[in-house]
Amino acid sequence: MDGAVRRVSLALQGGGAHGAFTWGVLDRLLEEEDLEIAGISGASAGALNGAALKAGMLAGGRAGAKARLDRLWQQVGEIGDFRMLPWIAPFLPAIRFWQTAGAAVLPFSPHGVAAQLYSPYLFGKRWTNPLEPVVRDLDFTHVCAEAGPRLFVSATNVRTGKIKVFHGSQISPEALLASACLPTVFQTVEIDGEAYWDGGFSGNPALFPLYEPDLPDDVVVVSINPMRTESIPDTPLEIQSRINEISFNAGLLGELRAINFVRRLIAEGRMERGQMKEVNIHMIADDGLMNELSADSKLSPTPTLLNRLKTAGRAAAERFLAEGGAKIGQEPSADLRTLLG
pLDDT in tens, 153-193: 999 999 999 999 999 999 999 999 999 999 988 999 999 99
3-state secondary structure 44-78: CHHHHHHHHHHHHHHHHHHHHHHHHHHHHHHHHHC
User: What's the average pLDDT block by block, 10 residues per block, for the chain (341 residues)?
Assistant: 83 96 98 98 98 98 98 94 58 50 49 61 85 97 97 98 97 98 93 97 95 96 92 82 87 95 92 91 96 87 96 98 96 93 82
CB atoms closer than 10 angstroms to residue 170: 15
* Spatial separation of the C-alpha atoms in residues 65 and 30, rounded to whole Å: 8
**In which element (H, E) is residue 112 found?**
helix 110-117
Preceding amide of 86 cis, omega within 30: no
What is the pairing mode between strands 194-198 and 150-157?
A: antiparallel
The half-sphere exposure of 114 on its side-chain side, counting CA atoms within 13 A, is 17
Give the span between the Cα atoms of 317 and 303, in whole angstroms.
21
pLDDT of amino acid 97: 54
What is d(CA 306, CA 19) in angstroms, rounded to the nearest whole number?
Answer: 9
| Cα distance between residue 133 and residue 17, in whole Å | 16
Q: What is the spatial distance between Cα 11 and Cα 57, in angstroms, rounded to a whole number?
A: 17
Q: Tell me how far apart the alpha carbons of residues 54 and 167 are, in angstroms, rounded to a whole number.
A: 13
- Which residues is 166 bridged to in the sheet? 153
Instruction: Determine if the pTM surpasses 0.85.
Output: yes
Read off the DSSP letter of residue 232.
P
